[in-house]
Every structure is written in C-alpha cells, then in structure tokens.
Amino acid sequence: MIDLYSWTTPNGRKVHIMLAETGLDFTPHPIDIRAGDQFAPEFLTISPNNRIPAIVDRDGPGGKPLALFESGAILHYLAEKTGQLLPADGAARYRVMEWLMFQMGGVGPMFGQANHFRIYAAERFPEEQISYGRERYTLEVKRLYGVMEKRLADNQYIAGDRYSIADIAIYPWCRNPERRGVDQADYPNVLRWFNQVDARPAVIAGNRILEGVPRADMDDKAWNIMFGAAQFEKR
C-alpha cells in the first residue's frame, strides 16, 4: 500500500520504525544517497528537496495517492492514518508535536552537522578548517542532550508517559552517540530511555529495513554528490 523511498540513515530509520510499529504494508525502494539516487528525476517528483525519506501512499486521503517528503510530516501523517502513536486531541497531542518539532528543528540539523564536521569533513580537511565547526556542533549536541536529560528525568518518554512519534523521531539520532562526542554515561536518563526504545520489537524490526543493501563507498565521487558541486549539476 505504501512505497517507501529511503536509506539506513537516522531520518530514514524514523519512517522504517513507524512502519514496523503500525504494521502498515509497504514496499521498500532503496535510495543510495552516496550513489546519487536522490537526484533521479522520478525521485525528485516525490521529494523535491532531494532528501530521503519519502513515501507514496497509494491509498491516501480521499482514496487518492499521496506523495510526502520530510520525516516529521510522514510520521504525523502515518500516525493520523492509523490512529497510533499520537494522541487524538488535548494537551498530550501538542506535547508530542512540540517534541517532534524539537527533533526536526534542533536534534536533526545539529546532530547532522556534528556528524559532518567530526567524521566526513575531518577525513578531508586540515584541523584549522574544521575545528570551529566541530566545537560549535558538538556543544550544540551536548546542550540538546542536556535538555533531553532533564525532560526524561521526570517523564518515561520524551512527550510524557506514552511512547509516541516524538520518541521515534529522536531515537535514531541517539544511536552511536560517540560519533558526536557524547558519553552516554553523562546522561543516565537519556540512556535509560534509549535502551527502552531500542529494545522494542518494532524498533528492532524497523532497524533491519534496508539493512544489508549494497551501498556506494564514501569516496571522492560520493563526497562530490552529497557535499560538492555535483549536487547542483544533478538537479
């Protein structure tokens, strides 16, 4: 019923986990972002920002097909479609949206830039070119971990006492924290929450989606496609 266009990155995993949690039928279509699949004209008609994840629901509103990009919009849509993982009304619904937006506007962009400066740029540029970016985004990651630590000290899940799409959005970005300079031991409540989410059968199943699909290496060609001039030529 749903075509999933995605890859095994944190933003992709959010939707993989949501599909596993809700039990919706789907067909996965791998989009290898190192190989440039995100610039294929057919993909751009679904996701004009050349980013995964994206979906096409053949049975969208009014029984018509609906194409959607942006992981937060997809999580929201699938939650409303199934009536799962987002309270139907009241304050609890806005609490989930609040933490979902916290992920979309804070955790995703900042953790992504920390990955960029600490891993990808660090392999290619001299220390003096990356040090400011690395420090800036590592500090932002730690600040955001501090916000989550405080929240999760008083709440079982990020939006309150129930697991929701806000947890699904944040969880994949908390895998491999050492890549972003985070020691989990400094954030015991985030660690407790992470382990609880990580152990859910649907999260384990979602993490397996598209796992093992052959992928392009992160070589000069891939760098140029993702971060260099090729991304402009390909549009």
- By the criterion CB under 6 A, which residues form the site for ligand GSH? 9-11, 33, 38, 50-53, 70-72, 108, 226
The residue among 50 and 195 lying less far from ligand GSH, judged by its C-beta, is: 50
* Shortest spacing between CB 69 and ligand GSH, in angstroms: 7
Measured from the CB of residue 154, what is the shortest distance to ligand GSH in angstroms?
A: 27
Q: Which residue lies nearer to ligand GSH by CB, 122 or 191?
A: 122
Report CA-CA distances (Å) from 185 to 145, 174, 188, 191, 198.
12, 13, 6, 7, 17
Nearer to ligand GSH, 52 or 203 (CB): 52
Q: Which of 43, 27, 14, 37 is nearest to 214 (CA)?
A: 37
CB of 54 to ligand GSH, least distance (A): 8
- Minimum separation from the CB atom of position 228 to ligand GSH (A): 11
* Cα angle 41-42-47, degrees, rounded to a multiple of 5: 90
Considering the complex, state which of residue 44 and residue 92 has its C-beta at the smaller distance from ligand GSH. 44
C-alpha distances (whole Å) from 167 to each of 2, 15, 33, 143, 212 are 22, 12, 25, 18, 25
Cβ 15 to ligand GSH shortest distance, Å:
8
Distances (CA, A) of 131 to 116, 124, 180: 12, 13, 14
54-57 and 26-30 beta bridge pairing: unpaired
Name the residue nearer to ligand GSH (CB basis): 189 or 231.
Answer: 231
Q: How far is the CB of 109 from ligand GSH (least distance, A)?
A: 8
- Comparing CB distances to ligand GSH, the nearer of 150 and 227 is 227
DSSP helix/strand/coil, 42? helix
Residues 6+ apart with CB under 8 A from 165: 18, 75, 76, 79, 85, 86, 96, 100
Distance CA 203, CA 6 (A): 16
